[in-house]
Amino acid sequence: MPVKSVAIIGAGIAGLTAALSFARHGIRCDILERAEQIEEIGAGLQISPNAARILSKLDVLAQIEAQWLEPETVDLVSGLSLKRLVSLPMRDVARGRWCAPYGVLHRSTLQGALLAAVRQNPLCRLHLGKQLDVVDKATIAAMTLQEHDLIVGADGVWSSARYAVAGSPKATFSGNIAWRFTIGQNDIPDFLRRHSVTAFLGPSAHLVAYPLAETGGFNIVAIATGANPGDTWKAEAQGKQHALLMSQFRHWNPVFADMLQNIAKPTFWPLFQAGEGRWHNGSDTVLIGDAAHAMMPFAAQGAAMAIEDAFELAAFVTGDRALADALASFEAHRTPRVEKARKRAALNRFAYHARGPLRLGRDMLLSVRPPEAFLADFDWLYGYRAEGL
Ligand SMILES: Cc1cc2nc3c(=O)[nH]c(=O)nc-3n(C[C@H](O)[C@H](O)[C@H](O)COP(=O)(O)OP(=O)(O)OC[C@H]3O[C@@H](n4cnc5c(N)ncnc54)[C@H](O)[C@@H]3O)c2cc1C
């Protein structure tokens, strides 16, 4: 029986992309979001060509391209000496080699563009202030006054929809904390390059900096080991947490302490990841995005994988297959790719946070490896053609 109507839990990147992807196939969607209004949350995002290609197909890329910045290079730099270890040309290479752009933007710019497209689409209905603690068809029908053939759990790393899928992945604390903050355009330190994404690498920590065209300022993410403050996506990093941030960078080049001691409103994000497990219940419920596979941000692919999931799920359930078979095929198709992205993130984590002799070896290897070899490493990831494109 073809899917005619879908309930989506969560209006994050995965949920909104899923709604637009289903609507392309003429499928009606109700999106249930617990927030009373969609807030600006989450600082910056890098959007790689594999995700940009899908956003273009969904007619939202033009709107975000008008607001984002395509970095000229992606650089790896020593956090101790500030020596540039690698500088990969990105702006022209992305469009030429992977046939889609690579951009950096505020998360709210992407969410806002998706939201505007959803609001304009007559097949999509957004319900704000709807928190689902129990995810089943009867509860959703009572909230939306609508029956649904399929439930999509796109409710993020602490998903409630997971409880509707036996054997689903569990979220566990990774042992790493991310501090996220922005710097205003008048406070940008000289050591940050204004047209590049730069990852500064140091012992047991790294710090990623990139410009935000929306504000003229910079987005900064610093990741280091730390304790779990509980299931929160965002906490103000005042007092103790700010002192912890300063202590993580005390052996780095002094320019970092100068920058970090003056930042306004840093936020503190415990990094959770979801391990292996089933993504669907064998009949009518499926998980996508962070609900299915929250991963560490070391490869900047969490949102990109959520976008791919959403788009491909719509393609899988609109074929001739029975829904249960379509969900099983979707999971079998997506898990190897997500696993490869996760392994890539784990490798980056190991390399970025290396200490002692490992760090020296890493720096030497990065300095002598030709940029073409690094770019070729991204072909499988950025050159990906999603099902249905
Ligand atoms: C420090 C950091 C840096 C990152 N950088 C990048 C990057 O550069 N590039 C990239 O691709 N990814 C990046 N990511 C990952 C990316 O942010 C996430 O993978 C992505 O936002 C996941 O999207 P999602 O829609 O699955 O979940 P979310 O964005 O968490 O959305 C879930 C939605 O569901 C709603 N919800 C939750 N529970 C319920 C409920 N019970 N009922 C109703 N609604 C509910 C929430 O309010 C929310 O709106 C980064 C992550 C971190 C932490």
230 with 158: CB under 8 angstroms? Answer: no
User: For the stretch 146-165, what's the b/e string if a residue is b when 16 or more beta carbons lie within 10 angstroms of its beta carbon?
Assistant: eebbbbbbbbbbebbbbebb
270-322 pLDDT, tens digit per residue, is: 899 999 999 999 999 999 999 999 999 999 999 999 999 999 999 999 978 99
Question: What's the pLDDT score for residue 203?
Answer: 82
Q: How confident is the model at residue 238 (pLDDT cuts 50, 70, 90)?
A: low
Q: For residue 301, which atom of ligand 1 is closest to its CA? A: 11
Over range 254-277, report the average pLDDT: 89
Over range 356-382, report the average pLDDT: 92
199-226 pLDDT, tens digit per residue, is: 999 888 999 999 999 999 999 999 998 7
Mutate to test the pocket of ligand 1, among 108, 155, 162, 382 (most ligand atoms within 8 A of CB): 155
Give the integer Cα–Cα distance in Å for 58 and 119: 14
Q: How confident is the model at residue 264 (pLDDT cuts 50, 70, 90)?
A: confident
Measure 110 CA to ligand 1 centroid, in angstroms. Answer: 12
Measure 290 CA to ligand 1 centroid, in angstroms. Answer: 6
Question: What's the pLDDT score for residue 266?
Answer: 80
Q: pLDDT at residue 227 above 90?
A: no
Instruction: Count the Cβ atoms, other than its own, within 10 Å of residue 122.
Output: 7
CA 152 to chain centre: 18
Kindly give, in sequence order, each residue whose CB lies less than 8 Å from that of residue 73, ignoring residues fewer than 6 positions away: 87, 88, 89, 90, 91, 193, 195, 196, 197
Measure 18 CA to ligand 1 centroid, in angstroms. Answer: 14
Rg (CA), the chain: 21
Question: What's the pLDDT score for residue 40?
Answer: 66
Is the pLDDT higher at 237 or at 317?
317
Question: What's the pLDDT score for residue 225?
Answer: 83
Q: pLDDT at residue 232 above 60?
A: no
Q: What is the DSSP string of 333-370?
A: HHHHHHHHHHHHHHHHHHHHT--HHHHHHHHHHHHHS-
269 with 180: CB under 8 angstroms? Answer: yes
> Which residue, judged by its Cα, is nearest atom 31 of ligand 1?
12
Over range 132-157, report the average pLDDT: 96
52 with 37: CB under 8 angstroms? Answer: no
Distance (Å) of CA 224 to CA 55, 119, 245, 345: 32, 39, 8, 15
Over range 87-101, report the average pLDDT: 97
Q: pLDDT at residue 267 above 60?
A: yes
Q: pLDDT at residue 17 above 90?
A: yes
Question: What's the pLDDT score for residue 320?
Answer: 84
Compute the mean pLDDT over every residue in the chain, rounded to the nearest whole number: 93
Q: What are 22's two structure tokens?
A: 């289903």
Over range 124-139, report the average pLDDT: 96
Q: pLDDT at residue 143 above 60?
A: yes
Query: Helices (DSSP H) in the chain: which residue ranges?
Result: 13-24, 49-57, 61-65, 91-97, 107-120, 137-144, 239-248, 254-261, 290-293, 302-317, 323-352, 356-368, 371-377, 379-382
